[in-house]
Chain A
C-alpha cells in the first residue's frame, strides 16, 4: 500500500496565499473527492501537488511513502507515481499523441527495457476503445485542435497508459456531456484497485453518480473544512453549500476571506 500525505500545505501564486493549511491523507485503493464552490483553492491544490512552476509552496509538506515530494522536480514526481489530469492541457505541435505517450511510458523504464511497439499499440488501441476515442487521435499532434471533451478523454487515456500510483483529476468532468462523462468514468473505474489511489476535484456531484468516492472533502477559504463519506456528496447536491457555511460561521467561502 502507498500513501500520499499532505500536511499544513500553504501555497502562494504571485505573492497571494491561496492554500492556507491543507491536510489530507490518501491511500491506494481509495477514491477521494474534493468538492467546493469556485475560488476556494481546489485547483491550486492539484497544481501544487504536481509542481506547477507558478505555484510556490511556503509552508507544509507533501510526502509519498515518506519521500519528500516537494523536493522533487515535476518529472521526478511523475516517475515517483503521481499523475495530474489537467484542466487546461498544453497543445504541442509536431509531437504525435502516440509518440508522446510512448516517451512518457519509457521515461519510467530502464534503458533497454522500453515498452515494445506492438505491445504499446495493442494497449493504446484497447484503452482508446474504452474511451470511445477515434483511432486517428493517436496520430494527431498532442492536444492540438482537440475539442474540450477530446482533451479530457486524452488526459484519462494518458492516465490509463501510464498507470500512476496516485492520480489527481482536476475538473475532469467540466464541459463533458453525459455520454462523455460515462466513458471517462468507466476509464477511471477501470483503474480502481489496490495499487491505485485517486483524488477527484469537481464542482459537481454529477460525476460521483458514476464513480463512488470513499471519502468526500469540502474546501473553502483554502482549507479542507469538512470531510465525510459518499453521503456528504449527496447532501451537498441536495442542499448546496450554505449549511456548511452556517455551521462553520463562514460568510464568503472564497480565498482571501477569514472565518
Chain B
C-alpha cells in the first residue's frame, strides 16, 4: 500500500488562509516556504515505529467554524468540569475557533500576554518572529514540522515578562467536537528572565471518532533564571493521526518541568525534547500513558545537555492493554563541554493483556567525561506479590490491580496543579484501564 504524501492544500490555499487572518507578510512567506519544502522532506523517524503508511496528509477540512463562548456558563459540561470557574487565566479553543480568553487584570498590567496564536501573529509579530519555529522546532526539520508551519490553524501564545511570577496556573482547553476538524495547533510559551509560570493544557474530544489530523507543536522558552511548569492531558479521539511535538529551551539557571498525561485513543507519535542550553538549567520530564484497543504509539523523550551542571530527569510510565503497542524511547544526551551534567531516566511499562506490547529503550549518548548518568527500564505485568499483599488486607483482586495501576501513573497525576484536570486524568485512566 502506498500513501499519498502530497497535500491537497495548494500554495494559493495557504496564501488565502494567511490573508484572511491578516498575517504579516513574513509569516505568509514562512508558511509558503514550508509548504514548498514539505514535499521533498522525509517523515520523522521515530525509533522502532514504522509510520511510512500512516496518514499525515489526507484530511476532510483545513478549518471548521465553531461557536465562541461569551461566558463560562456556556461551556459544555465536559469542559466546565475541567476548569476552575474562578480561573482568570484561561484560553479555550473550540475546534479551530478561538472561543474564549481571559487574563487577570493585574497580570495584564504587568505585561503578561495570553491570546490565541493568530492574534499573536498579527499583534506581537516581533516576539513571534523571535521564537516561532526558530530554535526549538524548525519548519524544515521534516515533513510534519513543515506541514505544521504551512497549515497552522490554531493555538495559544503566552508571554511572561521579566521578573513576573504568575502564581495561579494558566490553562488552555482545546475542545474537539466536530469529527471533520483537524488540529494544527501551536502553543508558544515564553518566560522571560526570572519569571515563573505554570501552564496546563487539555485536549479533549467529545465526539467518539475523528477523521482529521492532529499536528500539534509546543515551544517553551525559559530565559535565564525563569521557570516553566507545563502540564498536559491529551484525550483525543480514535481516528486522528496524531503527531505531537513539545519542546523546551532552558537558558542559564532556568527550569522546565513537564507533566504529560498522554491518553489519546488515536495512533500517536510524540516528541518531547528539552534543550538544556544554560549552565545549571534543569529539565524534568514526566510522562504517563495508557494504550488500549489496537492503538500504536511512540513516545520519544529527550533531554539534551549543553549547559554545565545541567540536570535532566526523564520518567515514563506506560500501561498497555488489549492489543495496544507502544515504544518508549528515552534519550539523555550530554554534549561535549557540559561538565557535571546529570542525566537520569526511568521507563516502565505495565502490560495488562497478553497481546499488548510495550518496549522501553533507554539511551544515553555522552560526549563528556565529567558527568553522571543513570537509567532504569522495565517491562512486565502487575507484580503478583503486590496483588497478594493488597488482597491479604481484604481488597479484591480487581481493586488491588486498580490501586497498583493508579499508583504507577501517579507521578503525573499528583503534580498537575488544577484540581479539575487532576480529576479528569484520574477518570480517564479509570475508564481506559477498566
Q: Which residues of A contact B385 (CB under 8 A)?
A: 53, 90
A73-B391, A78-B393, A78-B394 known; A92+B407 contact, CB < 8 A: yes
- Tell yes or no: A175 within 8 A of B by CB: no
Residue among B393, B404, B407 having the largest count of chain A Cβ atoms under 10 Å:
B393
Query: Nearest Cβ distance between residue A149 and chain B, in whole angstroms?
Result: 18
- B residues 371-428 in Cβ contact with A at 8 Å: 383-386, 388-397, 399-400, 403-404, 406-411, 414
- A94 with B410: CB separation less than 8 A: yes
**Of B395, B409, B411, which is within 8 A of A103 by CB?**
B395
Q: Which residues of B contact A184 (CB under 8 A)?
A: none
Q: Which residues of A contact B397 (CB under 8 A)?
A: 73, 75
- A71-103 CB mask vs B (1 if < 8 Å, else 0) is 001110111000110100110111100011001
A94 to B403, alpha carbons, bound, how many Å? Answer: 9
Residue among A51, A84, A86, A94 having the largest count of chain B Cβ atoms under 10 Å:
A94
Q: Which residues of A contact B390 (CB under 8 A)?
A: 90, 92, 100
A92-B404, A94-B411, A103-B399 known; A53+B388 contact, CB < 8 A: yes
- B131-157 CB mask vs A (1 if < 8 Å, else 0) is 000000000000000000000000000
- B392 with A50: CB separation less than 8 A: yes
Q: Which residues of B contact A74 (CB under 8 A)?
A: 388, 391-392
- A107 with B389: CB separation less than 8 A: no
- B404 with A108: CB separation less than 8 A: no
- B residues 97-117 in Cβ contact with A at 8 Å: none
- A107 with B394: CB separation less than 8 A: yes
Q: Which residues of B contact A94 (CB under 8 A)?
A: 406-411, 414
A92 to B392, alpha carbons, bound, how many Å? Answer: 14
Residue of A nearest to B407 (CB): A94
Kindly count the residue-residue contacts between A and B in the assembled complex, taking CB atoms under 8 Å apart. 81
- A86 with B389: CB separation less than 8 A: yes
A100 to B383, alpha carbons, bound, how many Å? Answer: 17
- A residues 147-191 in Cβ contact with B at 8 Å: 158, 162
Q: Which residues of A contact B411 (CB under 8 A)?
A: 94
A75-B391, A79-B394 known; A53+B384 contact, CB < 8 A: yes
- B407 with A104: CB separation less than 8 A: no
- B410 with A90: CB separation less than 8 A: no
Q: Which residues of A contact B384 (CB under 8 A)?
A: 53
Q: Which residues of B contact A107 (CB under 8 A)?
A: 393-396, 399
Query: Nearest Cβ distance between residue B315 and chain A, in whole angstroms?
Result: 11
Query: Nearest Cβ distance between residue B402 and chain A, in whole angstroms?
Result: 9
Residue of B nearest to A101 (CB): B393
- B393 with A158: CB separation less than 8 A: yes
- Tell yes or no: A52 within 8 A of B by CB: yes
Q: Which residues of A contact B410 (CB under 8 A)?
A: 93-95
A73 to B399, alpha carbons, bound, how many Å? Answer: 14
- Tell yes or no: A141 within 8 A of B by CB: yes
Query: Nearest Cβ distance between residue B409 and chain A, in whole angstroms?
Result: 7
Query: Nearest Cβ distance between residue B328 and chain A, in whole angstroms?
Result: 18
- B407 with A93: CB separation less than 8 A: yes
- B394 with A92: CB separation less than 8 A: no
Query: Nearest Cβ distance between residue B317 and chain A, in whole angstroms?
Result: 9
A194 to B414, alpha carbons, bound, how many Å? Answer: 43
- A78 with B403: CB separation less than 8 A: no
**Of A73, A104, A141, which is within 8 A of B393 by CB?**
A104
- A92 with B399: CB separation less than 8 A: no
Residue of B nearest to A105 (CB): B394
Q: Which residues of B contact A93 (CB under 8 A)?
A: 407-408, 410
Q: Which residues of B contact A158 (CB under 8 A)?
A: 393
A83 to B411, alpha carbons, bound, how many Å? Answer: 31
- B77-88 CB mask vs A (1 if < 8 Å, else 0) is 000000000000
- A92 with B393: CB separation less than 8 A: no
Q: Which residues of B contact A92 (CB under 8 A)?
A: 386, 389-390, 403-404, 407
Q: Which residues of B contact A142 (CB under 8 A)?
A: 407
Residue of B nearest to A75 (CB): B391
B residues with CB within 8 A of A: 383-386, 388-397, 399-400, 403-404, 406-411, 414
Q: Could you list some 28 contacts between A and B, CB below 8 A?
A: A50-B392, A53-B388, A73-B391, A74-B392, A75-B395, A83-B392, A84-B392, A90-B383, A90-B385, A90-B388, A90-B389, A90-B390, A92-B403, A94-B406, A94-B408, A94-B409, A94-B410, A95-B403, A95-B407, A99-B403, A100-B390, A100-B403, A103-B393, A103-B403, A104-B393, A104-B394, A108-B394, A158-B393
The 5 residue pairs across chains A and B that have the minimum distance between CB atoms: A94-B407, A94-B410, A78-B394, A104-B393, A90-B389
Given contacts A75-B400, A90-B385, A92-B389, 18 further A-B contacts (CB under 8 A): A51-B392, A74-B391, A78-B391, A83-B392, A86-B389, A92-B386, A92-B407, A93-B408, A94-B410, A94-B411, A95-B404, A95-B406, A100-B390, A100-B403, A103-B403, A104-B393, A142-B407, A162-B394
